[in-house]
Amino acid sequence: MEITKDRHYFVIEHERFVARFPDHGRDLEQLRDQDIYVTVAGGLTYYVNLMTLDAIDAVLRRWAHTGEAAGGSYFWSADLVIIPRPGITAMIEAIDGLVRNEKIDQACEVIPGPNDGPDAASWRHT
């Protein structure tokens, strides 16, 4: 797996998709929680929040102390995909599985482009 850098993002080009994620200066194989933008071959881009169960547990424990989410009594996140182990390799494997099995559109929302949706006209330059 080749990872390149594009400004503030790491980029992984795969045969089925391109994944982009912010550079937070951490060891990529230790990541337990990462937001990734996935552009599937054919053009649609999705937002994916990948987390391990340990990362979710850490959030719940933190919220128990801060009082967020009713004192850590629940956790939810839109576009969440739970991965079995930390690391960018596990994350890319999960994304590949979602794309290959045509499930990414069920698990994640499309990020609308400037020419999509009801406000598209406001993005267009005349």
Asked if the structure places residue 73 within a domain, the reply is no
- Please give the residue range of the domain that contains residue 99: 3-49+79-114
Phi and psi dihedrals of 9, rounded to 5? -120, 145
Asked if the structure places residue 12 within a domain, the reply is yes
Asked if the structure places residue 97 within a domain, the reply is yes
For the chain, what is the domain count?
1
Per-position pLDDT tens, the chain of length 126: 788 888 889 999 999 999 999 888 888 899 999 999 999 998 899 999 999 999 999 999 999 999 999 999 999 998 999 999 999 999 999 999 999 999 999 999 999 866 555 444 443 333
Asked if the structure places residue 121 within a domain, the reply is no
- pTM of the entire predicted model: 0.82
Helix, strand, coil % in the chain, rounded to nearest 5: 35, 30, 35
Asked if the structure places residue 18 within a domain, the reply is yes
